[in-house]
Amino acid sequence: MIHSMTEDKAGNIWFATRRHGICRYDGKTFTSFKGNEMFGSISPNTILEDKNGIFWLGTDERGVFSFDARLHEEVGQGKALKNYTTTDGLVNNSVHSILEDKDGNLWFGTRWYGLSRFDGKTFTTFSEYKEE
């Protein structure tokens, strides 16, 4: 099951899948990153490459992850993969959609609890959960 897809700057198509994690199609071959030590434990609902070439992965319970391939090549995976959760200001850890606006802000649509905007430093909440 494919939840989301995005095209990167090189023309590859990336898929956020239900049981196979992250997959990439380069026009000839599909590559699955399910067993990859960095991406293996992430089951993304949504995927987006921003204008800076950073991939954003929204998950059902673990918030959102950013992956900077340039950092991975320079300093290794510990610095390249970063996790953002409610502890960082995200309105909910179940992220189902990601959009980048013309100003470079990232918008995260979450399950039940609403919308968060990330300006690269802080999250702003535009809706909140209210019990009925």
pLDDT digits (tens, 9 = 90+) for 104-117: 999 999 987 789 99
Q: In whole angstroms, give the CA distance from residue 80 to residue 92.
A: 23
Confidence of residue 68 (pLDDT cuts 50, 70, 90): confident
Compute CA distances 93 → 13, 18, 28, 43, whole Å.
25, 17, 35, 13
Output the six-digit token pair for 32: 């699955």
CB burial class (10 A; 0-12, 13-18, 19+) of residue 79?
exposed
Q: Which whole number is the average pLDDT over 20-44?
A: 74
* 49 or 37, which is more confident: 49
Q: Which whole number is the average pLDDT over 20-35?
A: 81
| H-type alpha helices, 27-130 | 69-75, 77-80
Tell whether the model's pLDDT for residue 91 goes beyond 60. Answer: yes
pTM passes above 0.85: no
Q: Which whole number is the average pLDDT over 79-91?
A: 88
